[in-house]
A and B are shown apart, each in its own frame.
Chain A
Amino acid sequence: MSHYEASIREPLVLGDKSYHDITEDIAKPIEGAANKNWYIAFYISLAAMLWGFGCIFYTVGTGIGVWGLNKNIGWAWDITNFVWWVGIGHAGTLISAVLLLFRQKWRMAINRSAEAMTIFAVFQAGLFPIIHMGRPWNAYWVLPLPNQFGSLWVNFNSPLLWDVFAISTYLSVSLVFWWTGLLPDFAMIRDRAVKPFQKKIYALLSFGWSGRAKDWQRFEEVSLVLAGLATPLVLSVHTIVSMDFATSINPGWHSTIFPPYFVAGAIFSGFAMVQTLLGIMRKVTNLEDYITRMHVEYMNMVIILTGGIVAVAYGTEFFIAWYTGSPYENYTYLSVGAATGPYAWAFWSLITFNILIPQLLWIKKFRRSFIITFIISIAINIGMWFERFDIIAIVLSKGHLPSTWWRFEPTFVDVGIFIGTIGFFFVLFLLYARTFPVIAQAEVKTILKSSGEFYKKRRAQGIPTKPAIIATDSSAINGRSDNNLNG
């Protein structure tokens, strides 16, 4: 129904682009050589990553005691970072799956990079459940494998085991979803490649995609089914992560709102990270015509929405903690005790970065500004790290027994591993940006004529955008020839 699109919808592809222009723009970063800035960023990330690996080897070799944990606070930076990274990973699936179900055309320019972000973030998250183990070499015992110990089994009652299934399923489904979408784009790079080696590589990656009608039909159906599966998956994965806390009996952790609240927080932080990454990417890869102000504004709207949901959840936590009448609830991460106790700085960072600063996005000027969006998105990333840290550390620092009250101080190893994962993430992302088509060109081409600036303008002026068809066979007009399957 492309030609019925309301004129008040803003264009999603700027400039007078043809299909070929889209191909050229997207293939350019892959076919050209990397510039100096890319190498600088890459080497910094690589150094951070290697430093992080060093810290991991040191931890595993020496023992978990090199971290700042103590006998009362057994989880701190490790699980904070784990939840933070998993949360970031959720925006990718949200953009590619949920926005597909809601037929949001603007997702097409950002879904590829958001999914890449998901996968690289889940890689980082996946490190922590292993390295925070005391005996990581026995990690395979979490799998229900038949064995020589009389088939000694795992206990399926632990949310930590559910985590294993959730994260591994999430990674595999995201990977398949991402790769399926990449097939037509890899085929495009393959067909354009002039160097035999490059051609060979992209021929392997594109699985012999030839773009026949039947293939496209299946492709669309698979995408829809995967989106339908990935949506409950994305909700359940972070739900299961939240249950690591919510199934416990610690005041401040045991809260039924955690499942949806963690999911909302994950989308909130994930979109913030997408904003951070795409804010840079649209500039350095010259894709400003595809990742437009409109995209940034839409993402900011999602951030306001999910941030609002998170804020309501904070209010609920705060209220119900009081409403229970239980004195133990005074030391939960969102309570008067947290606001005034030794972790008050963490509490107020959470409130400032997560609730107060994002409210600036209500102002249209701010949410359409690239610079302000970039700054706010970083604030949210910091705020959401504090949210997880507060949930974990504040609650553990003041449990039921006052004799177990303790505080947590991170060591350089805690910090080093976190920096390492950030480095590792950017190493992967920078490599991706040089070798993968960062925008789904096949998808963007489907909306060019309905939502491209040039075409919209011509429609508004009443100039036909396609040649008149002489009707001989009505099915030629009424059939599904519109090439636009997304509403």
Chain B
Amino acid sequence: MYQFSGKLKTFSLALIIIGLIGTVFSFYNGSQKTIEDAKQVIAASHSSGHGESHGAAAVHAEGDGEGEHASEIEAHAADEHGDSHSEENGTKSYSSKEEHNVAGSHEAVEGHTEKHTNENQSVEEEHSVSDVQEHEEHVLHQLQNRPWSAFYVALFFSLGITLLVLAFYAIQRVAQVGWSVVILRVMEAISANLLPTSILMILLLAASVMHMNHLFPWMADGTVDPASENYDAIVDGKSWWMNSTGFMVRSILYLVAWNVYRFFIRKSSIKEDTANDGNKTYKKNFNASVIFLFIFMITESMMSWDWIMGLDPHWFSTLFGWYVLSTLLVSALTVIAFFTIYLREQGAIPGINDSHIHDLAKFMFGFSVFWTYLWFSQFMLIWYADIPEETTYFVMRFTEYKLPFLGMVVMNFVFPILLLLNSDFKSKPWFVVIGGVVILAGHYIDVFIMIMPSTVGAQWFFGIPELSALCFFIGLLIYTTLNAFSKANAIPKGNPFLKESEHFHYYNIEHTGEGSADH
């Protein structure tokens, strides 16, 4: 049985506490933000070449005072942040003049923005005051969102990794995989993180529904009320899906379904060790895993529509669910490899050899390429067709998040390709760790770019809120995993494929530091 080392326990608890302190501080700091801060941010961005970051410097040069604001709306129209602005404005002009049928007029948005901008010039005096106020309020919401988003990014990443570890584990069972049996317990242990992250997720989503933050624009008051200033015809059109009750019910259903499987399989897997019932328990676990994968395939897509795509209620992409899946899957495999390597170093799992590491690294490599494939497919198809209602998503990310957006592709694709292509490298633990750190960082950035542009827009930074949340969830993951690992036998003794796994030897791997008598 593995003994959770005291040092590491202290370390993980320290991470959790530091993370908590930082997070509490960030929330306190965020909630203190006032409209004055927003005005300062706006003023600062104006004086420091606002146009530069929005890629429309030329437009700015023309403007003075209020004219500048009009051109700013135009400049903003290119990005997401401005997108919501101009649509808010646009919606108002529809409802006041009743010229247009609003429903489904997505494609008109860009045209209307221009039109509105022109209108704006003529009715400058009336509009500008309310527009400026609205803009300030918007920036204020972004500033207040920051600690929430920082926490949400880390939370979703951590929950997603744990979930995908569980899914990968279920796949190992369903596919009757021979090589991975000795690391099944590692995967089980990591999945212990699912319960605490699920609870935090429910709390966070409930907080959003209760208007404690502005993460989900469609939750704002009055988005489905035609009489309201906030009325959003597009959101109203999908209120059958985008309503707080349905959202919470669905979210709870996903989380309960996943946790039920995790609870059952952990218990039953330990039972398998001593069952000795002619593989009856084993078969039961097989069937449970099939059912879980079936449910997982459906709930995973829906979860990504609800929790991530819903942050941009006007944007949609059919591939999105699988794209989220791929980013979480690579990260999950990397986390499995990390814990496997650590526990092997500790001598906690006797059966593991270089071939197991090699196989894990192959998965990390293969699914890194798969992630790139899906990332590129989504990006390229939207870029190619260039339909305004979809393109805003990437324009925003490309203008405001250029470095992380492009850096992520390097970290998630170029780096693993170069590092993990070589067969010898893949069986060297320290090499896999280097590759894995970059992969994990890259996919954190991926989740960051999925969430941040919609919630904090241009007000993003990687500082105390982000770092604290990350510390908290890393500490939590280490603690829950190793704690769970110390609670059960390190080797699933009752698994019928155990012998295959213990003697697993991929043919061209030179095993180091172990006797070769059993190969």
Shortest C-beta distance, B250 to chain A (Å), equals 13
Stretch among B13-21, B71-79, B101-109, B189-197 lining the A interface: B101-109
B123 CB–A CB distance under 8 Å: no
Q: Is B387 an interface residue, CB under 8 A from the partner?
A: yes
> Quick one: CB contact mask for A363-399 with B, threshold 8 Å, 1 for yes?
0000000000000000000000000000000000000
Contacts of A258 in B (CB 8 A): 318, 381
Q: Are A326 and B106 in contact (CB under 8 A)?
A: yes
| Docked-complex contact A316 and B301, CB < 8 angstroms | yes
B462 within 8 A of A: no
- In the complex with contacts A256-B382, A487-B179, A487-B506, A323-B500 CB distance below 8 A: no
Interface of A is mostly: helix
Q: Is B418 engaged at the interface, CB distance under 8 Å to the other chain?
A: no
Q: Which residues of B have CB within 8 Å of A246?
A: 381
For residue A463, which residues in chain B have a CB less than 8 angstroms away from its CB? none
- A residues 300-337 touching B (CB-CB < 8 Å): 308-309, 312-313, 315-317, 319-320, 322-327
A315 touches B298 (CB 8 A): yes
Distance between Cα atoms of A258 and B389 in the complex (Å): 19
How distant is the Cα of A7 from the Cα of B176 in the complex, in angstroms?
12
Query: Is A232 within 8 A of B369, CB to CB?
Result: yes
In the complex, the answer to whether A487 meets B496 with C-beta atoms within 8 Å is no
* Cβ-based interface call for A145 (8 A): no
> Given contacts A6-B499, A6-B500, A320-B318, is CB(A254)–CB(B385) below 8 Å?
yes
Asked if B505 is an interface residue, CB under 8 A from chain A, the answer is yes
| Residue contact A5 to B500, C-beta cutoff 8 Å | yes
A8 lies within 8 A of chain B by Cβ = yes
Tell me which residues across on chain B come within 8 A of A8, comparing CB atoms.
Answer: 279, 496
In the assembled complex, how far is the CB of residue B87 from the closest CB belonging to chain A, in whole angstroms?
A: 12
- Nearest B residue to A242 by beta-carbon distance? B377
The reply to whether the CB of B316 lies closer than 8 angstroms to some CB of chain A is yes
Contacts of A317 on B, CB cut-off 8 Å?
318
- Pick the contact of B374: A255, A260, A326 (CB < 8 A): A260
> Number of A residues contacting the other chain (C-beta, 8 Å)?
43
Identity of the chain B residue whose Cβ is nearest the Cβ of A263 in the assembled complex = B373
A366 to B238, CA, bound (A): 41
Task: Tell me the smallest distance from the CB of B173 to a CB of chain A, in Å.
Answer: 13
- Nearest to A159 among chain B residues (CB) is B384
A249 within 8 A of B: yes
CB-based contact A325/B106 at 8 Å: yes
Is B317 an interface position by the 8 A CB rule? yes
Contact of B377 among A256, A478, A480, A487 (CB under 8 A): A256
Which residues of B in the span 361-399 have a Cβ within 8 Å of any Cβ on A?
Answer: 366, 369, 373-374, 377-378, 381-382, 384-385, 387, 389
- A residues less than 8 Å from B374 (CB atoms): 259-260
Complex interface bits, B224-243 against A, C-beta within 8 A gives 1, otherwise 0: 00000000001001100100
Which of these, B106, B322, B384, contacts A324 with CB under 8 Å?
B106
In the bound complex, do residue B319 and residue A257 qualify as a contact, i.e. CB atoms below 8 Å apart? yes
A316→B321 contact, CB < 8 A: yes
A256 with B318, Cβ < 8 A, contacts A243-B381, A478-B516 known: yes
Query: What 1/0 flags go to A472-487 for Cβ under 8 Å of B?
Result: 0000001010000101
Q: Look across to chain A and name the residue whose beta carbon is closest to the beta carbon of B240.
A: A322
- Whether A469 is near chain B, meaning CB under 8 Å from some CB there, is no
B377: nearest chain-A partner, CB-CB: A259
- In the complex the two chains form, is A257's CB within 8 Å of B318's CB? yes
A323 adjacent to B507 (CB under 8 Å): no
A-side contacts of B316, CB under 8 Å:
320, 323-324
Q: Tell whether A172 is near chain B: CB-to-CB under 8 Å.
A: no
CB pair A325–B496 under 8 Å, yes or no, is no
Contact B106 A478 (CB under 8 A): no
Query: Do residues A1 and B500 form an inter-chain contact, with CB atoms below 8 A?
Result: yes
Given known A-B contacts A1-B503, A478-B516, A257 and B322 have beta carbons under 8 A apart: yes
**Pair B318/A478 contact, Cβ less than 8 Å:** no
Q: A480 contacts which chain B residues (CB < 8 A)? A: 507
Q: Is A164 an interface residue (CB 8 A)?
A: no
Name which residue of chain B comes closest to A104, CB basis: B175
Does residue B178 face the partner (Cβ distance < 8 Å to A)? Answer: yes
Q: Write the nearest CB–CB distance from A404 to chain B, whole angstroms.
A: 17
B2 touches A (CB below 8 Å): no
Q: Could you show 19 A-B contacts with beta carbons less than 8 Å apart?
A: A1-B504, A4-B500, A4-B503, A8-B496, A254-B385, A256-B320, A256-B381, A258-B318, A260-B373, A260-B374, A260-B377, A312-B297, A312-B301, A315-B301, A317-B318, A319-B305, A327-B103, A478-B517, A487-B506
The 4 closest A-B pairs by CB, nearest first: A257-B318, A256-B319, A259-B377, A325-B237
13 new A-B contacts at CB < 8 Å, known A236-B373, A259-B377: A1-B504, A1-B519, A9-B176, A246-B381, A257-B318, A257-B322, A312-B298, A316-B321, A320-B317, A325-B234, A325-B237, A326-B106, A327-B103
